[in-house]
C-alpha cells in the first residue's frame, strides 16, 4: 500500500517536471520574440522562461542582438 502511494506521488511529480526538462531552442525563442506563436504556445514559453535561467539568459542575449541590428532612429529619414 505504501509502495503504491509512493509510486503515485513520483508519477505525479514526474508529470509536472517533465515538460520543463527540455529547454527552448533558438527558433522557439525567435518565434516568441517575433510574436509568431499561438496564445497557448506563448503561455508555455513564458512559463518555461520563468523557471529556466539558461533560457532566460539566451532570450536576453537574442533581444540585445535584435536591438543592435535595428537601425537607429536618428539615421532614418522620412522623405
Tell me, what's the pLDDT at 72? Answer: 60
Show the DSSP H helices in 1-70 as ranges.
Answer: 2-17, 26-33, 39-51, 53-69
DSSP state of 21: S
Give the separation between CA 69 and CA 35, rounded to whole angstroms.
Answer: 18
Residue 55 has pLDDT above 80, yes or no: yes
Q: In this predicted structure, what is the pLDDT of residue 74?
A: 53
- Give residue-wise pLDDT tens across range 9-52: 777 766 665 555 588 989 999 999 999 999 999 999 999 999 88
Residue of 60 and 13 predicted with greater confidence: 60
Instruction: State the distance between the two ends of the chain, measured CA to CA, in whole angstroms.
Output: 79
Nine-digit cell string for 32 = 516568441
Over residues 54-79, mean pLDDT? 77
Amino acid at each position: 500500500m505504501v509502495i503504491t502511494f509512493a509510486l503515485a506521488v513520483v508519477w505525479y511529480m514526474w508529470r509536472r517536471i517533465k515538460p520543463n526538462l527540455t529547454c527552448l531552442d533558438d527558433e522557439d525563442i525567435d518565434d516568441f520574440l517575433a510574436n509568431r506563436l499561438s496564445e497557448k504556445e506563448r503561455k508555455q514559453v513564458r512559463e518555461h522562461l520563468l523557471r529556466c535561467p539558461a533560457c532566460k539568459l539566451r532570450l536576453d542575449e537574442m533581444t540585445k542582438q535584435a536591438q543592435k541590428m535595428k537601425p537607429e532612429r536618428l539615421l532614418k529619414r522620412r522623405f
